[in-house]
Copies of this chain bind each other. A is one copy, B any other.
Amino acid sequence: MGADPLKNIRVVLCGTAHPGNIGAAARALKTMGLAHLYLVNPARYPDPQAEWLASGAADVLRHARVCASLDAALAGVVFSVACTARTRELAVPMVSAREAAARVIEVARTQTAALVFGNETFGLTGREVDKCRLLATIPANPGYSSLNLGAAVQVFCYELRQAAAAGSGPRGKPPALATHEEIEGFYASLEKTMTEIGFLDPEHPKKLMARLRRLFSRVQLEKEEVNILRGMLKTLARPKPQRSRKSTIVD
């Protein structure tokens, strides 16, 4: 982890249709001092159109990592922001690009964070959004809020650089945050346990898991907290409660 938070941030583009937008995104990253571009199932990559629009950011484009899933792109990430133009009734809380940038930079001073963008036409799917901790939007004209993908990446990266430059005074060592995989593992275990105890009916799940994701996504779970929660679920999964069992939590 370097001292520069901008170098600890990934920009993840999901299902990008037009290679020109991938090139424009690479350029947007580099102009703002970011370097790590991830492409989840791009329609066309590499492509001369991408290279043309990347202009002087050919290095960022060349080092882009192509992934088969959003989970793969978010491996090792502790804080991820879904960037969207649409207002949604969803899981994850919604903030402005500026506020999201401030929070991303705070995390990225010591750990890895990510911004996630969807397809040009369809945006992010609900399932993709649910994998992120926060939903962010660029305040726009309600009559026409559809920014070009490259332009949206530029605005978010711009806000990241502005946030990084703003009052960089650190305060104390932050706790170790849980990674994407650890949190997804907790959700899987939570869903299984709730089904087993009969609280969640798999045939009529309603929005229970989405609501619980929304709750926990607001917390920024720490590694140790995920361990406690998973420990509780493990205890529940046992056939017989052992009354004499000592708590495993260390003082």
Render A151-182 as a binary contact track against B, CB cut-off 8 A, 1 for contact: 10011001001100100000000000000000
Q: Which of A38-46, A70-78, A111-119, A210-218 is the interface stretch?
A: A210-218
Beyond A140-B161, A151-B28, whether A231 also contacts B199 by CB under 8 A is yes
Interface membership of A245, Cβ < 8 A: yes
Interface membership of A208, Cβ < 8 A: yes
Cα separation A158 to B56 with both chains bound (whole Å) = 24
A146: chain B residues at CB < 8 Å are: 27, 31, 55-56
Q: Which listed residue, B53, B151, B208, touches A247 by the CB 8 Å rule?
A: B208
Q: Which listed residue, B208, B224, B244, B251, touches A206 by the CB 8 Å rule?
A: B251
Cα separation A57 to B145 with both chains bound (whole Å) = 10
Q: Which of A8-16, A125-133, A234-242 is the interface stretch?
A: A234-242
Kindly report which residue of chain B lies nearest to residue A218, judged by CB atoms. Answer: B219
Interface membership of A109, Cβ < 8 A: no
Cα separation A121 to B83 with both chains bound (whole Å) = 31
Instruction: Determine whether the beta carbon of B31 is less than 8 Å from that of A140.
Output: yes
